[in-house]
């Protein structure tokens, strides 16, 4: 093969491999921006500038939860002050709230703060954790007054 052609080919190969790198970076840039918008469905800052009518009214400030009330179950009537630390529920002695309940697992669920909200997450329990009527499949935010059920125990967040 002609030397000149070969040199051009070699240079072309380097161009091609960088083209791959750059197109990956290019697609990532878009992906990162899209990923955020996807889940919330909220318009981006740039879209807001173009279409001010898309802006949502400011949500009223949420009251932070300060106590966790035990509504039903063996410990009914008790309440636990929330001080920004995660709480673990279960029968195990090292749980924050030890549940004496045959329907609860050793390490059943954890309630943890993230930002201004509290989230409940099932720790792979046998009988599951319920918020309202739905069983948790992943960590989920809990609103004030929503009923969280672990075995026979029902919990509620209070302001």
Partner 1 sequence: MNEVQTAPVPRRNLELVLLILALGVGAAAFYLVGSTTEGVDNSDFYVQMSIMAALALVVHVLLRIFAKYADPVILPITIALNSLGLAMIHRIDLAKGTSQSARQLLWTAIAIVIAAAVLWAVKDHRLLRRFTYIALLVSILLLLLPLIPGLGVTINGARIWIRMGSFSLQPGELAKITLSIFFAGYLSSNRDLILMAGHKFGPLQLPRLRDMAPMLIAWLLSIGVLVVQRDLGSAILFFGLFIVMVYVATARISWVLIGLLMVAVGGIVAGLTMSHVTRRLDVWLNAFDPAIYQATGGSMQIVEGLFGMADGGLFGTGLGAGSPYRVPLANSDMIIASFGEEIGLVGVTAIVLLYMLLVSRGLRAALGSRDTFGKLLAAGLSFTLGLQAVVIIGGVTRLIPLTGLATPFMAAGGSSLLANWIIIALLLLISHNSRRPTSGVSGPTDEIATPTKPKTSITKAVKSK
Give contact residues for partner 1 (rule: CB under 8 A). Answer: 1, 6-7, 9-14, 16-21, 23-25, 27-28, 31-32, 34-43, 47, 54, 83-86, 88, 94, 107, 110, 112-115, 119, 121, 123-124, 134, 138-141
Answer whether 72's CB lies under 8 Å from 153's CB: yes
C-beta closer to partner 1: residue 18 or 74: 18
C-beta closer to partner 1: residue 77 or 115: 115
C-beta closer to partner 1: residue 110 or 149: 110
Q: Provide, rounded to whole angstroms, the least separation between the CB of residue 77 and partner 1.
A: 25
Answer whether 158's CB lies under 8 Å from 65's CB: yes
Phi, psi values for residue 22, rounded to 5°:
-70, -35
For residue 48 the two structure tokens come to: 């807001």
Four-CA torsion 64, 112, 99, 107, nearest 10 degrees: 170
How far is the C-alpha of 150 from the C-alpha of 90, rounded, in Å?
Answer: 9
C-beta closer to partner 1: residue 26 or 76: 26
Q: Provide, rounded to whole angstroms, the least separation between the CB of residue 44 and partner 1.
A: 8
């Amino acid at each position: 093969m002609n030397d000149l052609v070969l040199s051009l080919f070699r240079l072309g190969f380097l161009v091609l491999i960088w083209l791959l790198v750059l197109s990956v970076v290019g697609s990532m840039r878009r992906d990162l921006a899209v990923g955020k918008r996807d889940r919330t469905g909220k318009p981006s800052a740039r879209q807001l500038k173009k279409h001010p009518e898309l802006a949502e009214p400011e949500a009223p400030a949420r009251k932070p939860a300060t106590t966790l009330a035990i509504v039903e179950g063996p410990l009914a009537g008790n309440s636990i002050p929330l001080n920004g630390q995660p709480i673990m529920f279960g029968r195990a002695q090292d749980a924050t709230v030890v549940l004496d309940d045959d329907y609860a697992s050793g390490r059943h669920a954890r309630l943890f703060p993230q930002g201004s909200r509290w989230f409940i997450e099932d720790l792979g329990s046998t009988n599951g954790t319920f918020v309202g009527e739905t069983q948790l499949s992943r960590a989920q935010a809990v609103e004030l007054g929503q009923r969280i059920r672990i075995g026979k125990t029902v919990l509620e967040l209070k302001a």
